Amino acid sequence: MRLSVLDQSIAVAGRPHEESIRNTVALARHCEALGYQSFWVSEHHNHPTIVGTAPEIIMAAIAATTERIRIGSAGIMLPHYSAFKVAEVFRVLDALAPGRIDMGLGRAPGSDGLTAYALNPLANERPEHFPSDIRDLMAWVHDEPLVEGHPFAKVKAYPAGPTAPEIHKIRHYHDHPGYVGPHADGVRAALTTLAQQTVGPVRLVFTAHSIPRTMEANSGPQGGRYTAQLRETAELVANAAAPGMAWDLVYQSRSGAPHVPWLEPDVNDHLTAIAAEGVRGVVVSPIGFSSDHLEVVWDLDTEAAATAAKLGLPFDRAATPGNDPRFVTMVKDLIVERLDPAAPRARLGALPVWDACPMGCCQTRA
């Protein structure tokens, strides 16, 4: 069995923060001695408890004091940084530990909106460039050509070397039984709870993270794939949990500058609208999320629930997959698929999915 560790450099009350960083490096050495496969570190900012703010530096310290264990980032929050600079950092890391570096990337801020602006004054513009930043980063890390006509086509990321950080991408799983099933069970349970609170028409409302409209327009080879996948997931979950019930797809967790158009309607605005239509109860299912993290707990359990209470609208939020065994098994199966193209593939939907993004996928269109 291959075992790995994700460490977040957690601060301990009454102990100095530098001790947490040193403990992370020491833990990596200990894990290597125990035979662990890999050791990953995270990135968070402006958080008094999670103090691993610079995973690339911690990775370098681990590389200098270990010999075998793989070292990874989980992940580098790319919108804070230049894709070229991240490529250079990981080329250096690979020079320190050739063939042992894994690069995990994220789009989220790893903190609050104010901190995102402190890290990058153009934070409001970066999310829509995330797909092209990923594309450029992968090319720079592996010393491959950038897309035709790229303004930085002659720029190279050094140091060069025979190895490079490995980048793996599991396929999209929006229609996988291990994702749809737990969401459907969450909806059924929420509807049962809501039935004890209300008599009258009930609406099923699915939510997902809002993104800039330009990012949605460029998602997938022909554009519009983000909302297409969400609608297919919503339909699969609704048909499994509540056949025939009316449902809507709305958005939450908007950020960025107010003048930049993002996907709408916002869940709070939508609750106001359906209450005016005469709906007497609502189940909100966050199908765009796999776990009950901050954006679910705050945006839905706190803000949306408060909106519903103000409207006198009975409200229940469906659970996300979280650590449901079907979801955990799905992740394992997707990794097996990635390693073995002949492995069986479980799917419920019709939208195409793939292991490697087609050339030009999510590329900004004129």
Sheet strands (E) in 24-94: 38-41, 70-77
- Pair (209, 291) in one structural domain: yes
Residue 335 has a pLDDT of 83
Q: Strand, helix or coil at 318? A: coil
pLDDT digits (tens, 9 = 90+) for 315-328: 999 999 999 999 99
Contact 182, 320 (CB under 8 A): yes
- How large is the average pLDDT for residues 224-236? 96
- Pair (185, 309) in one structural domain: yes
How many distinct structural domains can be found in the chain?
A: 2
Q: Is 108 domain-assigned?
A: yes
Q: Which amino acid is at 97?
A: A
Q: Which amino acid is at 298?
A: W
CATH classification at residue 112:
3.20.20.30
How high is the mean pLDDT of the chain? Answer: 90
- How large is the average pLDDT for residues 163-185? 90
Q: Strand, helix or coil at 201? A: coil
Query: Could you give the percent of the chain with pLDDT greater than 70?
Result: 94
- Pair (240, 311) in one structural domain: yes
Contact 73, 57 (CB under 8 A): no
Q: Strand, helix or coil at 212? A: strand
Residue 359 has a pLDDT of 56
CA dist 26 and 48 (Å) reads: 21
Q: Which amino acid is at 157?
A: A
Enclosing domain of residue 49 = 4-141
pLDDT at 26 exceeding the cut of 80 = yes
pTM score above 0.85: no
CATH classification at residue 223:
3.40.50.1400
pLDDT digits (tens, 9 = 90+) for 111-169: 677 888 888 888 777 766 787 888 899 999 999 999 889 999 999 999 999 998 877 67
Tokens of 63: 């590389």
Domain boundary residue among 119, 141, 163?
Answer: 141
Domain boundary residue among 292, 317, 342?
Answer: 317
Contact 286, 317 (CB under 8 A): yes
